[in-house]
Amino acid sequence: MPSVASQCNLCGPPTGGLPTHLAIQASSLSDMQRAWIVDRNARCGHEASLWQDGTGSGRDFANCLLQETAKQALFCGALYSGEG
């Protein structure tokens, strides 16, 4: 059975049929996003660990994920709108 990631474009843009310079940019963006996800998860995991598996850890982890994802969305939006 194919993975969900292989069925969508959320894990990186398709590069087939793009001009070479755009395919390179698409690949670079995918690499950047994968690295960012690792950093985000580590950052939010650490923040949640401050609760020592208490009742607030899940809430803080989810809140951190939302905040970090919003920051990244704004960064990418500015980067590709010419504002970044």
Report pLDDT digits (tens) over 19-59.
898 899 999 999 999 999 999 999 999 999 999 888 889 99
Confidence (pLDDT) at 44: 97
Give the separation between CA 2 and CA 47, rounded to whole angstroms.
33
Question: Cα–Cα distances in Å, from 61 out to 16, 48, 52, 58, 69?
Answer: 36, 5, 12, 5, 12
Residue 1 is predicted with a pLDDT of 46
Report pLDDT for 14: 57
C-alpha R_g of the chain: 16
Q: State what percent of residues in the chain have pLDDT above 90.
A: 58
Q: Output the six-digit token pair for 17.
A: 């049929």
The answer to whether residues 34 and 10 touch, using CB atoms and an 8 Å cutoff, is no
